[in-house]
Amino acid sequence: MKFGVFAIATAVAYDQEWAEFQAVQGQRNGDIPQAFKDNVDRVNAENAKNGDVELSYTGPFAAMTPEEFQASNVRGFKSAKDQGLPNLGMHEEDASVVAATIDWTSRGAVTPVKNQGQCGSCWAFSTTGGLEGSWQLATGNLVSMSEQQFVDCDTGSAGCNGGSMEGAFSWAKSTSVATESSYAYTARDGSCKSSFTSAIPRGGVTGYKSVTRSASGLTSALQQSPVSVAIQADQSVFQLYKSGVITSGCGTSLDHGVLAVCVNSDGSIKVKNSWGSSWGANGFVNIATSQCGITSDASYPVVSGSVSV
């Protein structure tokens, strides 16, 4: 009898949490997945420890097993370090401002969080984020730029099968960069379009600069603009992240391109992700500079605001 009461109570608990998940992610038919139940248990157990990170079972990947999440096509970064791509050198650190806090989201240089869907185009979202920020700082005009243009047209990448921000910055030197509204995102590979509205005219992107592989290098670069960074994002802490600072549980096998937008008061980095606003802290995540390889592959575009659109 006691066992029956426990089973009913457990089922009711999962029913409530499944309803909360569906309220955020949309109606799902069928039985509650075992993966979701396991993740609820994992979330409750980890949150009870009162650690640096709070997890959630209402995020977009809470009904996946860890293996399904790792196999999903929601990342897509591929390093271009060995391709000999041209750049404009290394970012020069200014030791006087390395420790300063700064938040480009509150300074009008970051567009709203976007969603790459099941397309390994994270690199394109990181690229447009870097370009959007640099163009706003150069011209005072914040324009949402087209990830789909990079997916379709940047022949140095593999579209939904991956690419790199450095390669995309280099490609953008020879073309006009389209607005999001004139070249909409489809989350799949498509044919390159030549008709669109320009957000950055041809010649507006002059290159990119690499950032020293260190915490001071990244925090220094963030003093002048948002920075495109590669991280490892296939672990459970990313799958179920809700809030707090990731200080453990994250490796350095880079597989995801994102945008660093803020140096927090504790020295951690606020990152804009491309998994929609229902993931994480309204689409953002805070990462310690020692975690996820966040200082391993960082760069930002250099633009000229004097070129006429």
Interacting residues of 84 by C-beta distance below 8 A, sequence separation 6+: none
pLDDT over threshold 50, residue 63: yes
Cα–Cα nearest to 198, from 180, 184, 186: 180
DSSP string, 110-123: -PPP-B--SSB-HH
CA distances to 93, 113, 204 from 272, rounded to whole Å, are 23, 7, 24
Distance from C-alpha of 103 to C-alpha of 269, rounded to nearest angstrom? 10
Active site residue 256: yes
Active site residue 122: yes
Distance from C-alpha of 145 to C-alpha of 132, rounded to nearest angstrom? 7
In the set 119, 256, 262, 292, the catalytic residue is 256
| Strand partners for 305 | none
Distance from C-alpha of 309 to C-alpha of 296, rounded to nearest angstrom? 34
Determine contact, residues 233/253, Cβ cutoff 8 Å. no
Active site residue 273: yes
Distance from C-alpha of 90 to C-alpha of 289, rounded to nearest angstrom? 19
Q: Tell me which amino acid residue 135 is.
A: W
Distance from C-alpha of 20 to C-alpha of 59, rounded to nearest angstrom? 10
CA distances to 81, 113, 115, 292 from 298, rounded to whole Å, are 11, 20, 21, 12
Reported as a pLDDT band with limits 50, 70 and 90, residue 5 is very low
Question: Average pLDDT, whole number, for the chain?
Answer: 91
Q: What percent of the chain has pLDDT over 70?
A: 89
Determine contact, residues 259/226, Cβ cutoff 8 Å. yes
Determine contact, residues 104/225, Cβ cutoff 8 Å. yes
The alpha carbon of residue 68 and the mean position of all alpha carbons in its chain are separated, in whole angstroms, by 19
In the set 39, 115, 273, 286, the catalytic residue is 273
Cα–Cα nearest to 114, from 70, 162, 146: 146
pLDDT over threshold 70, residue 240: yes
In the set 91, 119, 122, 250, the catalytic residue is 122
Residue 229, helix vs strand vs coil: strand
| Strand partners for 174 | none
The DSSP 8-state label assigned to residue 178 in this structure reads E
Determine contact, residues 229/298, Cβ cutoff 8 Å. yes
Domains along the chain with CATH numbers: 2-50 (no CATH), 73-303 (3.90.70.10)
pLDDT at position 3: 42
Determine contact, residues 218/298, Cβ cutoff 8 Å. yes
pLDDT at position 132: 98
Determine contact, residues 146/100, Cβ cutoff 8 Å. no
Reported as a pLDDT band with limits 50, 70 and 90, residue 86 is very low
Per residue in 245-297, pLDDT (tens digit) is: 999 999 999 999 999 999 999 999 999 999 999 999 999 999 999 999 999 99
Tokens, residue 49? 């420890």
